[in-house]
Structure 1
Amino acid sequence: MSEVLTERSARVVAARKLTRRSGRDAAGAFLAEGRQSVVEALAVAEPGLVREVFATEAAAAAHRELLSGTRVPVRLVTDRAAASLSETVTPQGLVAVCALADVPAAALVQRPPSLAVALAELADPGNAGTVLRTADACGAGAVVFGAGSADPYNGKAVRSSAGSLFHVDVVRSAPLPELLPALRSAGVTVLAADGQGEVSLADAGPAGLLTGPVLWLFGNEARGLDPELGALADHRVRVPMRGRAESLNLAAAAAICLYATQSAQV
């Protein structure tokens, strides 16, 4: 870690391209910024997941124990170089370059997890990360991002996941119209979250709909779930609301549905 790289250094320039989806897809890598993300990335046993870590001198000193205990190359960078790799107002000066770890959709059909989530045309990367974090907390095995959804490797999504991105299987750009029937044929109960659903979440548990394997399907934050896609589910489930709120935030609805399912599967 003797040489201090600047924002013009070739390695930093190459890493900066990973702030764009086209750059991530081309390089097969993404950036994980901040201590929590870097800790979780380094904790994964899969060889080659973390390619290198960039750290300012201050960050390297603050996280000496973490960085000295890894065999991953650690590159010292200037504050300006670290800022060029960050998408936050106050960069932490610690960024890991990680390999994309997508799982093919077919793998879920071959071995369905007891609990999974599918997101159809999810727009907000922050919601993507929050759903990943919630799914991880509930013991879900996979989060599926349908074609047209936000990239879970977007910087905001990675930060919002707080490291959970490294704990669950991630499927990107999945063809949901083909995947959902295949999962149902494999014995998965597909439940579409829909404010106008014919089944109340309060009744779904007693009716035995939440015992695994279960996949929850959520739609776009503004438009909701496309009716044609929702028709591919076994049931459309609504979250009962007693107050006067027009609807629930997508991430909040996902948390309620996933925790209810987790409780039913214990």
Structure 2
Amino acid sequence: MVETIASLLRRSAALASVSDTPRLDIEVLLGHVLQKSRTYLFTWPEHALSEDEYRLFEALFERRLRGEPVAHLTGSREFWSLSLSVSPATLIPRPDTELLVETALQLPLPESAKVIDLGTGTGAIALALACEQPAWQVVAVDAVDAAVILADTNRRQLGLLNVDIRQSDWFAALGDLRFDLVISNPPYIDSSDPHLQQGDVRFEPKSALVAEGRGLADLETIIQQAPVHLNNGGWLLLEHGWQQAQAVRELMQAAGFDRVETRQDLGGRDRATLGQWTDSA
């Protein structure tokens, strides 16, 4: 039996039990197999797959049925219009995290701002900021070897020269370096959260998702350590869970940050909190 683009697109219903976007999943997998855009799929629905193409699609489709994330199947994910390589060693960049990039670009930072992205993973946040602001000097760190390698691979693929990828457990390897902006999407999920056993999250590294202290431990560590690494008037910007906004604001205020406020994500949920550091000396 000859399988066409149209016939395979009709199989999207089978993915409804493992995906909120079954039709999009099929389109992305088909585009990956055929090395064509989604526009091509709509333009040439009667295109027949070769035997090799069909076998590859079937293999990827079966893995998706078992719940594997589409980004892991294709090896890439788009973030802030950038195509980034991904791997099971890091979190898959999510649209909600683009709020951090959007907020950072609105801040009154110096023209040649020094920025650090803590726990960079794929490098998504750091690379998006570096693309938007070529005069900024961006440092991106991660404690995991594989993440550092992946982030630097993405940096090289994008040809960015204003990003320095390093290995560091938060600020540990940064000495006395100071920045105009500290930005991070750290682990913030409580270990007992039932969502950890659902959907794509099951295939992502728990070390990049889970934090002690009801999910607040890493957020608190960054908030407490950030002042030592912020220039006078510098900013701290953190992603967090939608129910953690008040706790994060209180932690920032207790640490001495001013102008503390929370921003909402695409779904209208509290998702990022920022504050400004002013040296008291």
Q: TM-score range by the shorter chain?
A: 0.3 to 0.5
What TM-score results when the alignment is normalised by the length of structure 2? 0.31
Q: Greater RCO between the two (CA within 8 Å, min separation 6)? A: 1
Tell me the TM-score normalized by structure 1.
0.32
